Amino acid sequence: MTISFHDLSKMTRTARDQLLKRSEADLAEFEEKVKPIIFAVKTEGDAAVARFARQFDKAPVEADALAATDEDFARAENTLDQQVREALEFMAVSIRKFHEDQKPHEMWFHEIRPGVFAGDRTTAIPSVACYIPRGKGAFPSSVLMQAIPAKVAGVKEICIITPPGPDGRIDDATLVAARMAGVSKVFKAGGAQGIAAVAYGTETIPRCSKVVGPGSPWVGAAKRLVSHLIDVGTPAGPSELIVLADETADGRLAGLDLIIESEHGPDSSAFLVTWSRKVAEDAMAAIPEFWKQMGEQRVSYSSTVLEGPMGGIVLARDEEEAIAFCNDYAPEHLGVHSDEPFQYLGRLQNAGEILLGRHTPPTLGNFVIGVNHVLPTSGWAKTGSPLTVYDFMKRTSVAYVTGKAYPELAKHAEVISRYEGFDGHANAVSETRAMLLRTNR
């Protein structure tokens, strides 16, 4: 096994640009396959959702059994391992506290100039569907990361859609996490059919205003095709990580962290970026030893990433070149390994999250710190943000002008209106309005 090694000092601009590319597939081919699925759900409702669960998930699901029942929740509560429950409860407390602190004031209203008041009122969106993937495992943590911020924001209608397991059931931890988050509507609806179901609504699954959460290319393609019907949020693709390490870092720890996101799947991306050859060499030597402590499937995923073009070691000439590479890449997760990690924070501009220091591995960010692990990928961190309470809220502008302040504003507004050719706009703030206002005194 040989970890990929990329020396920026010996790379052409084209070769460097290749490192910035993600493994996310072109969705065009998936869109063609997804179109008939979406149409079937639109026209057939529950029957189509159940049929595709049987076809794609190989799960014995019938149209009249898409929703989790009280019995399902009770079984999950009784059978889930106590340690798992305690870990989820710990996680839920952190997530709720972080997002409560993040929640904006309901309204601000300032006097912009004498007699002119303006502000924003923030209210929750009416409904949201949280998509919880299951292709490479069960992810109850994603339930808490999505549903708790929605609850904190004040969303009235929250549902969870997730693929059923081979037994036709919803994962026990997913159901327990849903109840912890205060969500009782959980549906066996994964893939493109799940996205179509919440975009159109079926006999069982409600139509929603928004859908959040990561998924497969099938999910991504479906979101794109129904984006005129439902808010699909920021795209979330395969996992990606950069570990930025200076000469004070322990290369073994950097390598240990590099494995975290690389084990998500063979389409993940993970780079250790450093200007210290010793740190790079120590990491390369340690990673194969760490693989010996992991299961076969996760080693397969991680080694595919770290031995391929989408992962490995990136050796920079100096810290400026390393930081520039990180900002150009705009990773989902960015870990900083240094005795003084805060010295780099001001120069790191583009990342879904920045995890500072050797005691802050991505594992903690993914699960228990409280920051959200639904993050922008594929370079979207240059303009996008982590999932927050803001994703479940909307702002409405509010304004009020006093009679004393009105004339000056009207004068300038009329000039602009006439310049831009809007007669109705201009008339509404002209002498015509002034005359009508005088008659209403």
- pLDDT per position as a tens digit, 109-151: 999 999 999 999 999 999 999 999 987 678 999 999 999 999 9
Give the integer Cα–Cα distance in Å for 171 and 186.
Answer: 11
Give the integer Cα–Cα distance in Å for 241 and 353.
Answer: 10
Q: Residue 344: what are its φ and ψ, rounded to 5°?
A: -100, -15
Which member of 240, 263, 319, 332 is catalytic?
332
Pick the range with the lowest mean pLDDT from 22-31, 70-79, 136-145.
Answer: 22-31
> What is the per-residue pLDDT across 202-251, written as a single tens digit (0 to 9) for each?
999 999 999 999 888 899 999 999 999 999 988 777 899 999 999 999 99
* b/e 179-190 (16+ beta carbons within 10 angstroms → b): bbbebebbbbbb
* First-to-last C-alpha distance (Å) of the chain: 86
Give the Cβ contact number of residue 223 at 10 Å. Answer: 25
> What is the per-residue pLDDT across 296-327, written as a single tens digit (0 to 9) for each?
999 999 999 999 999 999 999 999 999 999 99
Note the Cα 246 to chain centre separation in Å. 29
337 catalytic? Reply is no
- From 273, 246, 269, select the one nearest 259 (Cα to Cα): 269
Whole-number pLDDT of residue 28: 83
Has residue 25 got a pLDDT over 70? Answer: no
335, 355 contact by CB (below 8 A): yes
Average pLDDT over residues 61-66: 96
CA angle, residues 285, 288, 293, in degrees to nearest 5: 130
**Structure tokens given for 311:** 């992962």
Pick the range with the lowest mean pLDDT from 1-10, 44-53, 344-353.
Answer: 1-10
3-state secondary structure labels for all residues of 215-261:
CCHHHHHHHHHCCCCCECCCCCCCCEEEEEECCCCCHHHHHHHHHHH
Give the integer Cα–Cα distance in Å for 170 and 138.
Answer: 9
**Which whole-number Å values give the CA distances from 286 to 29, 209, 256, 300, 363, in the listed order?**
39, 47, 8, 17, 19
Q: What is the largest CA-CA distance in the chain?
A: 87
Average pLDDT over residues 406-415: 97
Whole-number pLDDT of residue 328: 97
311, 290 contact by CB (below 8 A): no
* DSSP category for residue 210: B
332 catalytic? Reply is yes
> What is the per-residue pLDDT across 243-300, written as a single tens digit (0 to 9) for each?
999 999 999 999 999 999 999 999 999 999 999 999 999 999 999 999 999 999 999 9
**Tokens 């920021």 appear where?**
234
Residues in the chain: 441
**Which whole-number Å values give the CA distances from 367 to 166, 275, 335, 339, 386, in the listed order?**
26, 30, 15, 24, 14
Give the integer Cα–Cα distance in Å for 190 and 215.
Answer: 9
Which member of 264, 333, 337, 373 is catalytic?
333
